[in-house]
């Protein structure tokens, strides 16, 4: 069950709520759920059944593909206020899209059950339009990731990943392992370690145990392009 302050938060990020009847908003409040998660927990995977629309209140989530060789490929991240529609793919006809959603930073999320979302989408055009626009946005992000894999070499991809992390963390010093970078990019740790060593030799970064310090952000930006 969701409380008035929960519904106020959702209204800021789900514009269709303002166009629903009072009865429908009561249904969402009654069926909705707010849960807290710790770092490392899995919210969504192919083994878990469809759990509906997810709205992030706080923390950070990572959506990724599990590749056949056991590697992972990060598709996008969700921060406070972001929405995961692919977790409700069971109510989106003709769309099969299996992703894993894990918690990178502890926080809390809201769930709107898939059955309720599907019912609202069928009879409320505002809900249907919102969900389809969100699906389009997420697939654009996925296609961008695929494009990077095809058109960029590993040096460019590692540089772009490091820049993304500095923006997320707000720091030039990243507490991250080579293995974590490899998991995000869907490659081998040895490949990442080799690329990072080249960057260190060029004076772009400094490597230490479990940490990477960006020393020349401008040059890293140039490498990413």
What does 10-22 look like in DSSP terms, one character per residue?
A: HHHH-GGGGGS-H
DSSP for residue 36:
E
Look at domain 152-224 and name its CATH class.
mainly alpha
Q: Where in the chain is the domain with CATH 2.60.120.10?
A: 4-143
| Whole-number pLDDT of residue 135 | 83
Whether the full predicted model's pTM is greater than 0.75, yes or no, is yes
| Whole-number pLDDT of residue 88 | 55
Tell me the two tokens of residue 114: 């898939």
Written in H, E and C, the secondary structure of 43-105 is: EECCCCCCCCEEEECCCEEEEEEECCCCCEEEEEEECCCCEECHHHHHHCCCCCCCCEEEEEE
Mean pLDDT, consecutive 10-residue segments, the chain of 225 residues?
A: 96 95 96 96 76 92 85 91 74 63 95 91 92 86 86 94 96 96 93 96 94 96 93
Rounded to whole angstroms, how far apart are CA atoms 63 and 84? 9
| Whole-number pLDDT of residue 148 | 85
Q: How many CA atoms lie within 13 A of 62 on its CB side?
A: 21
Q: Where in the chain is the domain with CATH 1.10.10.10?
A: 152-224
| Whole-number pLDDT of residue 99 | 82
Q: 208 forms bridges with which residues in the sheet? A: 211
- Residues near 83 by Cβ (< 8 Å), separated by ≥ 6? 13, 14, 53, 54, 55, 56, 134
| Whole-number pLDDT of residue 59 | 97
Phi, psi for 85 (deg, rounded to 5): -90, -25
Q: Which fold has domain 4-143?
A: Jelly Rolls (2.60.120)
Residue 153 near residue 124, CB atoms below 8 Å? no
Smallest Cα–Cα separation from 161: which of 40, 45, 62?
62
Strand ranges across the sheet with 211-214: 173-175, 211-214, 205-208
In the block, residue with structure tokens 């969504």: 44
Q: CA quadruple 41, 161, 55, 92: dihedral positive or negative?
A: negative
């Amino acid at each position: 069950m969701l409380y008035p302050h929960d519904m106020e938060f959702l209204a800021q990020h789900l514009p269709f709520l303002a166009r629903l009847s009072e009865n429908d908003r009561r249904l969402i409040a009654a069926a909705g759920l707010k849960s807290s998660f710790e770092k490392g927990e899995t919210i969504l995977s192919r083994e878990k059944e469809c759990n509906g629309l997810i709205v992030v209140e706080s923390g950070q989530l990572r959506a990724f593909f599990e590749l056949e060789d056991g590697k992972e490929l990060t598709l996008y991240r969700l921060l406070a206020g972001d929405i995961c529609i692919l977790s409700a793919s069971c109510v989106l006809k003709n769309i099969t899209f299996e992703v894993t959603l894990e918690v990178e930073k502890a926080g809390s999320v809201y769930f709107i059950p898939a059955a309720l979302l599907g019912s609202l989408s069928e009879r409320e055009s505002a809900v249907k339009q919102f969900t389809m626009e969100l699906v389009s946005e997420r697939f654009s992000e996925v296609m961008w990731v695929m494009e990077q894999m095809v058109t960029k070499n590993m040096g460019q991809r590692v540089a772009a990943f490091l820049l993304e992390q500095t923006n997320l963390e707000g720091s030039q010093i990243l507490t991250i392992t080579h293995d974590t970078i490899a998991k995000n990019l869907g490659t081998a740790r040895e490949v990442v370690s080799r690329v990072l060593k080249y960057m260190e030799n060029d004076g772009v970064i400094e490597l230490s145990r479990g940490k990477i310090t960006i020393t020349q952000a401008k040059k890293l930006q140039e490498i990413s392009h």
